Amino acid sequence: MSLILDKINYYYGKGTAFETAALKNISLTIPDGEFIGLIGHTGSGKSTLIQHMNGLIKADSGSIYFNGQDIYDKDFKMTELRRKVGLVFQYPEHQLFEATVIKDVLYGPTNMGLDKLKAEVLAYGSLRAVGISEDLLDASPFELSGGQKRRVAIAGILAMNPEILILDEPTAGLDPMGRFEILNLLKAIHEAKGITVILVSHSMEDVAEFAERLIVIDDGEIKYDDEPRKVFAHAEDLRKMGLEVPQCTELMGRLADRGLDVDRNCLTIDEAVESILNGNRRK
Amino acid sequence: MVNFDKVTFEYIRRDEEGNVESINKALDEIDLDVKKGDFIAILGANGSGKSTLARHINALLTPTEGTVYIEGLDSKDEDNHLKIRQKTGMVFQNPDNQIIASLVEEDVGFGPENIGVPTKEIWERVAFALDKVGMTAYREKSPNNLSGGQKQRVAIAGILAMKPECIVLDEPTAMLDPKGRREVIETITELNKNEDITIILITHYMTEVIGADKIFVMNKGNIKLSGTPREIFKEVDLLKEYQLDVPQVTEIAHRLRQKGMNLPECVLTVDELVEALATGDRG
């Protein structure tokens, strides 16, 4: 089970005077069960890339294989791909439309042609997974708080039982606690169900803490594809791409530059605190 | 400049017959006093009333009870609305919803043209405003091809062209990449310092408000804390209770202090912590 992108090229305005390459020769392998962060400045090609992954955009050249099958083959069932690669857009709560929470989440599995009972099992299960309590099932989605709405929207995708879950900035506009809840929720779903998660984010702190693998895209090309710790060691290069390193990584780098005995590659507050205390003890 | 006197605002929900179904008190007897030239930040969880408060400052909403004065003008009097909106401009979260014209210069000139400013003066104001946000080079470009940070700067220029005394920004960086966030914060900081424009910034990014003169923390329609960034961010635990956070370096310093290290009570920037750790007696 995997998703393989092989030498993908995609152009905006192909054949016109405004033709620009949005994706250049992208090759990627997404095996089962990874938690991947995807970063890049606005317009770098992140959204175009993830829309290739579930067939919403067709590459101008190159191939995509889902579980060994060429998705551009005329016998390939695109509806299967769209179900198994769930895409949660930015501000997904704007897409809630049903009269009640449960009906909204049931929409996907029912549309897949599942019988009522199976659809309900999936819908209830995914609402439980995102932490929406049962007393909210019959509430209107529009009565919920921002964070709750977003979780209901994610449940709607989860109810399709995807193998890969791609989220485009799922924490934009949420308060710090709301961010933390959504990210922990993704981690829990990833761990419990073994679902591959691809998190598109503008928050370096978030991908540093949660992703196991980090892909950096700049100007339609993959610049880094490695462990977050190794990627964030390239602070200068990332800044040139309009990105950053987490504040604690910046701090540790600066301390190491000043000759302190600390690990310059810390990614989280916990790691930074631990490293500074250890360095202090050794002194 | 901006005065709130016991301002209460209620969102009233009615059923189909017009009977009151529920009342949600979004602002609860808020007192607020912002002086000309201040840089104010407002923090608070989703649903704490921040945006409702912001919308009172340029009379998009008027109080259910109490009074809002903008430079002495009572916002309840509809005759004052035009004057109030010229004095206080608003920038919202999504840059794409705020851009209306096909060229940057036309977008910036839209406001003054609407209030009947003579053509020559419109162009002077457009030139001035674009210069102040560093977007002069894009004057004759289409706003569609700009990055998120550039679009927000154009939105700010559109307000500057109205010669405002105060700019209210409601999560202007929520949808931007790290570079875009930095551009917007640098722009408004310069406008505050060099043009003496009062800034009221609402955000969920704690690192963006460390340069503010004063921070107000909202929770459930009330202002729970107010003070300088240093006074606010030393309340690490209290802020978490209000679903907020502190900058990563502030938290690292706070935890190191708890472990007995000799550090200043509230550290706000990477520079401060590097200095304290590299030079100070670390206990």
Range of the domain at B109: 2-225
pLDDT digits (tens, 9 = 90+) for B72-115: 999 999 999 999 998 999 999 888 888 888 999 999 999 999 88
Q: A174 pLDDT exceeds 50?
A: yes
Please state, for a pLDDT cut of 70, what percent of chain B lies above it. Answer: 99
Output A260 or B147, whichever has higher pLDDT. A260
Q: Cα–Cα distances in Å, from B19 out to A87, B14, B98, B243?
A: 41, 5, 35, 34
CA of A175 vs chain B CAs: smallest distance (Å) = 5
Question: In whole numbers, what is the pLDDT of chain A averaged over residues?
Answer: 92
Contacts of B274 in chain A (CB under 8 A): 251, 254-255, 258
State chain B's mean pLDDT as an integer.
Answer: 92
Mean pLDDT, range B196-206, rounded to an integer: 95
Number of folded domains that form chain B: 1
Whether A176 and chain B come into contact, CB under 8 Å, resolves to: yes
Q: Return the CA Rg of chain A.
A: 21
Chain A / chain B CB contacts < 8 angstroms: 111
Minimum-distance CB partner of A174 among B46, B175, B181: B46
Report the alpha-carbon distance of residue A25 to residue A237 in Å, rounded: 21
Question: Could you give the C-alpha distances from A206 to A32, A50, A71, A183, B94, in angstroms and in order?
Answer: 22, 19, 32, 8, 21
Q: What is the pLDDT of residue A113?
A: 84
Give yes or no for residue A13 having a pLDDT over 90.
no
Tell me if chain B has a CB within 8 Å of the CB of A243.
yes
Strand partners, B216: B42, B226
Residue B196 inside a domain? The answer is yes
* Strand-pair partners of A224: A216
Between CA A250 and CA A255 the distance in angstroms is 9
The model's pLDDT over A35-86, given as tens digits with 9 standing for 90+, comes to: 999 999 988 999 999 999 999 999 999 999 999 999 999 999 998 899 899 9
Question: Buried (b) or exposed (e) across B71-87, using 16+ Cβ within 10 A?
Answer: eebbbeeeebbeebbbb
pLDDT (tens digit, 9 = 90+) per residue, B117-148?
999 999 999 999 999 999 999 999 998 888 88
Is pLDDT of B271 > 90? yes
Q: Which residue in chain B is spatially nearest to A270 when comparing CA positions?
A: B252
By C-alpha distance, which of A227, A212, A211, A209 is closest to A271?
A209
pLDDT for position A155: 94
Question: Does B273 map to a domain?
Answer: no
B39 in a domain, yes or no?
A: yes
Please state, as a whole number, how many other Cβ atoms lie within 10 Å of the Cβ of residue B3.
16
CA distances from A102 to A68, A134, B151 (A): 35, 10, 38
Looking at residue B282, what is its pLDDT?
52
Q: How much of chain A exceeds pLDDT 70, in percent?
A: 100
Average pLDDT of the residues in B242-271 = 94
The span from the CA of B31 to the CA of B116, in Å, is 35
pLDDT given for residue B149 in this prediction? 87
* A132-146, B109-123, B168-182, B222-236: least confident range: A132-146
Residue in B179, B245, B277 nearest the CB of A260: B277
Burial class (CB in 10 A: 0-12, 13-18, 19+), A116: exposed
Set of chain B residues whose Cβ sits within 8 Å of the Cβ of A283: 282
Confidence of residue A217 (pLDDT cuts 50, 70, 90): very high
Q: Is residue B186 over pLDDT 60? A: yes
- Best mutation target among A41, A263, A268, A277 (most B Cβ atoms within 10 Å) is A41
* CATH value at residue B113: 3.40.50.300
Confidence of residue B70 (pLDDT cuts 50, 70, 90): very high
Which of A90-99, A119-128, A215-224, B59-68 is the least confident region? A90-99
Residues whose CB is less than 8 angstroms from the CB of residue B237 and which lie 6 or more positions away in sequence, other chains included = none
ipTM of the complex: 0.87
Domains parsed from chain A with CATH numbers: 2-226 (3.40.50.300)
CB A183 within 8 A of CB A171: yes
User: What confidence tier does A222 reach under pLDDT thresholds 50, 70, 90?
Assistant: very high
Identify the pLDDT of residue B196: 94
Helices (H), A58-138: 78-84, 101-111, 116-129
Give CA A66 to chain center in angstroms. 18
Residue B270 within any structural domain of the chain: no
- Nearest by CB to B277, from A42, A145, A276: name it: A276
pLDDT at B283: 46
* pLDDT, position A283: 67
Contact status, residue B57 vs residue B68, Cβ threshold 8 Å: yes
Q: What was the pLDDT predicted at A100? A: 93
Cβ-based contacts of B269 with chain A (< 8 Å): none
Give residue A142's pLDDT.
85
Instruction: Work out the percent of chain B whose per-residue pLDDT is above 90.
Output: 79
Give the residue on A whose Cα is nearest the Cα of B46: A175
What confidence tier does B279 reach under pLDDT thresholds 50, 70, 90? confident
Asked whether residue B150 is assigned to any structural domain, the reply reads: yes
